[in-house]
Amino acid sequence: MKVEHYKAFSQALVDWFLANGRDYPWRRTTNPWAILVSEIMLQQTTIPTVLARYEAWMNQFPTPAHLAEADEETALRSWEGLGYYRRVRSLRAAAIAICEKHAGVFPCDETTIRTLPGIGDYTTGALLSFAYNHPAPLVDANVSRVFARVFNDATPIDSPAGRRKHWELAAKLVHPTNPRAYNSAIMELGQTLCTTGGPTCLLCPVREFCTTTEPEKLPVKLLKKEASAIEHWDIWHLSPQGLLMEKQPDGKRHEGMYRLPRREQNEVSKLPHMCDQKYSVTRYKVTRHLHRGNVASPKNNERFIPLSELHSTPMASPDRKLVKRFLDDSEQ
């Protein structure tokens, strides 16, 4: 696409979005806190999953102060099902910073927004454009895919050169008076028409500007490492005091959350086998072998949690599923 067409490209996207844009709760507000929550949730979770959880979360934590005042276990428990718990810790840290350093008022200038914990380039662009209608650039995987095709560019989108190029393009193309609609539009184009499989070019509002003849071959990405297989051996110890659970220490991926206690394979191999659970985490394919057994001496970070407290105990989805499955089974 030629530089002289940039303005028309941005306007075509805005016009298309104003007529066809999807209605989401976070698009009905300019409240920066509500927008930050939606953006953090949407970073690694699908729109349908976020839609199912967003309004309940906003009812529980309608302002930064509500989240800042909640303890970490409550925040983690409320985030269950959304995954990638590092995000809720960052969100809570941002809420605390807003309360402690800005008297509970969400900052509106780029420099201050960037000082909040967990806020990077993308989230800064989203906050500035969606909350304040400030012409700030924004690039995510959808925007990169559209750029790679519109500009027929085979630079890997996840390479430093690809990222730099797309952020520069985003800054040049962002609509000067309606950046809120423009940034939503280009992401929505990538989600709905310019998709990863075969794009629907016939319906595309910017097809006259698009220079690729083989959109299916774009974008190009760097080669990814293959997923690694890992195995774990865990114990199910249910006693009159409750279910034995292990609290994850600081610095671990699920810091502050609970899981079924983990042991070496030779410590559990003679115990009755209950089930195998398989799931994927980032680039790992996990197989978890669960055995029933009595732990004579729980470790320092292990404790029996009464069954009545398990529902409010934060744990990742794989553990929640096992707890639900075997406690439901034992109640039948």
Residues acting as catalytic residues: 39
Q: Which is nearer to ligand SF4, 82 or 150 (CB)?
A: 150
Segment contacting ligand SF4 (CB under 6 A): 145-153, 160-168, 171-179, 249-257?
A: 145-153
Cα separations in angstroms, 282 against 127, 160, 253, 262: 27, 21, 11, 20
In the set 146, 170, 187, 260, which binds ligand SF4 (CB under 6 A)?
A: 146
194 in contact with ligand SF4 (CB under 6 A): yes
Q: Which is nearer to ligand SF4, 128 or 170 (CB)?
A: 170
SS3 of residue 281 by DSSP: strand
149 in contact with ligand SF4 (CB under 6 A): yes
> Which residues touch 43 (CB under 8 Å, ≥6 apart)?
84, 87, 122
Q: Which is nearer to ligand SF4, 1 or 99 (CB)?
A: 1
SS3 of residue 248 by DSSP: coil
In the set 34, 35, 126, 150, which binds ligand SF4 (CB under 6 A)?
A: 150
Segment contacting ligand SF4 (CB under 6 A): 51-59, 109-117, 192-200, 253-261?
A: 192-200
What residues from 79 to 138 belong to the interface with ligand SF4 (CB under 6 A)?
A: none
Q: Judging by beta carbons within 10 Å of its beta carbon (0-12, 13-18, 19+), is residue 190 exposed, middle or buried?
A: buried
204 in contact with ligand SF4 (CB under 6 A): yes
Structure tokens at 14: 């805005």
Give the helix/strand (H/E) hosting 8. Answer: helix 6-20
Give least dist CB 147 to ligand SF4, A: 9
> Which residues touch 118 (CB under 8 Å, ≥6 apart)?
40, 87, 90, 91, 93, 94
215 in contact with ligand SF4 (CB under 6 A): yes
210 in contact with ligand SF4 (CB under 6 A): yes
Assess contact for 249 and 301: CB atoms under 8 A.
Answer: yes
User: By the criterion CB under 6 A, which residues form the site for ligand SF4?
Assistant: 146, 149-150, 193-194, 199, 201, 204, 206-207, 210, 212, 215
